[in-house]
Amino acid sequence: MSVASWFRNRLGMGPILDHLIPDHANTLSFVLGGIILVLGLVEGITGILLQQVYEPMPHESAAYSSVLYLTHHHLWNFVRNMHYWGAQAILFLVYIHMIRAYVSGSYKKPRELLWISGVVLLITVWLLSFSGSVLKWDQEGVEALGHNLELTNYLGPFGYWFSPEFAHQIPFLVRMNSAHVTILPVFALVLVGLHLYLLRIHGMSSLNGTPLAEREVPYSTHFKKMILYGSIAVGIIMVISAVVSAPLSTFGNPKIEVTKPDWYMLWVYAIEDLGGLQTVPYILAPAIIIMLLVPFIDRNLETSPAKRKLMMALLVAALLLYVGMTIFAAMTPPQSHLGMMK
pLDDT digits (tens, 9 = 90+) for 84-125: 999 999 999 999 999 999 999 999 989 999 999 999 999 999
Contacts of residue 67, defined as CB under 8 A and 6 or more positions apart, other chains included, come to: 54, 80, 135, 136, 137, 138, 248
Q: CB of 97 within 8 A of CB of 39? A: no
pLDDT (0 to 100) of residue 14: 66
299-311 average pLDDT score: 90
**Measuring CA to CA, which residue among 224, 230, 328, 341 is closest to residue 277?**
341
- pLDDT (tens digit per residue) in 208-266: 655 556 788 888 898 899 999 999 999 999 999 999 999 999 998 888 889 999 999 99
At 82, which helix (H) or strand (E)? helix 74-103
Cβ-based neighbour number of residue 286 at 10 Å: 10
pLDDT (0 to 100) of residue 151: 80
- pLDDT (tens digit per residue) in 181-198: 999 999 999 999 999 999
pLDDT (0 to 100) of residue 1: 60
267-274 average pLDDT score: 92
Q: Would the pLDDT of 287 be above 60?
A: yes
Give percent above pLDDT 90 in the chain: 63
- If one compares 74 and 162, the residue with the highest pLDDT of the two is 74
Give percent above pLDDT 70 in the chain: 92
141-157 average pLDDT score: 81
pTM over 0.85: yes
pLDDT (0 to 100) of residue 294: 97
CATH code for residues 29-331: 1.20.810.10
pLDDT (0 to 100) of residue 308: 93
When mean pLDDT is compared over 15-24, 280-289, 298-307, 311-320, the highest value belongs to 311-320
- pLDDT (tens digit per residue) in 32-84: 999 999 999 999 999 999 999 999 887 768 899 999 999 999 999 999 999 99
CA dist 121 and 143 (Å) reads: 25
Ordered DSSP codes for 118-165: HHHHHHHHHHHHHHHHHHT-BHHHHHHHHHHHHHHHHHGGGGGGGSGG
pLDDT (0 to 100) of residue 339: 65
One-letter identity of residue 221: T
315-322 average pLDDT score: 97
pLDDT (0 to 100) of residue 122: 96
319-333 average pLDDT score: 96
Give backbone dihedrals phi and psi of 333, rounded to 5 degrees, phi first: -70, 155
The CA distances from residue 212 to 107, 217, 232, in Å, are 19, 15, 32
The domain limits of the chain are 29-331
pLDDT band at 172 (very low <50, low <70, confident <90, very high): confident
When mean pLDDT is compared over 199-213, 245-259, 313-327, the highest value belongs to 313-327
Q: What is the mean pLDDT of the chain?
A: 89
- If one compares 247 and 170, the residue with the highest pLDDT of the two is 247
Residue 2's region, left for phi above 0, alpha for psi from -120 to 50, else beta, is beta
pLDDT (0 to 100) of residue 342: 41
One-letter identity of residue 91: L
Cβ-based neighbour number of residue 301 at 10 Å: 10
Q: Assign 3-state DSSP to the chain and report helix, strand, coil percentages, each to 5.
A: 75, 5, 25
